[in-house]
Amino acid sequence: MIPSAFPPKEEIARLTARALLEIKAVHFNAETPFTLASGLPSPTYIDCRKLISYPRIRSTLMDFLAVTVMREAGFEAFDNIAGGETAGIPFAALVAERLALPMTYVRKKPKGYGRNARIEGAMSEGQRVLLVEDLTTDGGSKLSFVDAIRETGATCGHTAVIFCYGIFPDTEAKLGAHGVKLHALCTWWDVLAEARAQGSFDAATLAEVESFLKAPRAWQEARKPA
């Protein structure tokens, strides 16, 4: 069902942050930082995959994502919703259901057998495709998915995520240079503000997280493994 309510963008951000905190998808640890896929340390970690296990929150945030895309890209802007393997697949299916559009998904790399395909489902030349993922850090991982979509002859000028780190200033520029517009529900700054409002973590932890958010590369460089 296509959502008909359009909450203000700021309220969507606050409620999304609140939901992520409520299901404990947000992890802050200043004393023992997490190791990211890049090998660099971080006092923050988020697990958007947990959302699929919470039907009320899942439904609300997928309404928010559909509304955000319609408001920022247009009501008739897309012909196909594609999820990025693997975390984007369930969210793409849920958004496609709301927008009454076909759903496909994009593999990270070809299967290596059979059709050796990267696109699963029906995607055709000329279709306008929205790429849906759970989150983005600096936007780089989206480009491979976008290229795979474009190789079919379809177009892909938009990507929608639940969560954007919002701390790397070149994220939107990197995507923009590739002809892609980013749509996101909330960032680490929204989560930090809501965590403070709720008292979800102690003051020292929140202060260290803020220090990281203000200068992530410097924070990581000072604490990366020898």
1 band by pLDDT with thresholds 50, 70 and 90: confident
Specify whether the CB–CB gap between 83 and 132 falls below 8 A: yes
For range 56-60, the mean pLDDT: 97
Residue 4 in domain: no
Residue 2 in domain: no
Residue 114 in domain: yes
pLDDT at residue 113 in the model: 66
Model pLDDT for residues 117-163, shown as the tens digit of each residue: 899 999 999 999 999 999 998 888 899 999 999 999 999 999 999 99
User: Residue 156: what are its φ and ψ, rounded to 5°?
Assistant: -145, 100
Residue 105 in domain: yes
Residue 106 in domain: yes
Please report, for the domain that includes residue 163, its CATH number.
3.40.50.2020
Q: Which domain holds residue 78?
A: 9-223
What is the rounded distance in angstroms from the CA atom of residue 60 to the CA atom of residue 51? Answer: 10
pLDDT at residue 112 in the model: 65
Question: Into how many domains does the chain fold?
Answer: 1
Task: From 127, 132, 129, select the one nearest 92 (Cα to Cα).
Answer: 132
What is the rounded distance in angstroms from the CA atom of residue 206 to the CA atom of residue 226? Answer: 26
Residue 119 in domain: yes
Specify whether the CB–CB gap between 83 and 118 falls below 8 A: no
pTM: 0.94
Please tell me which residue, 213 or 223, carries the higher pLDDT value: 213
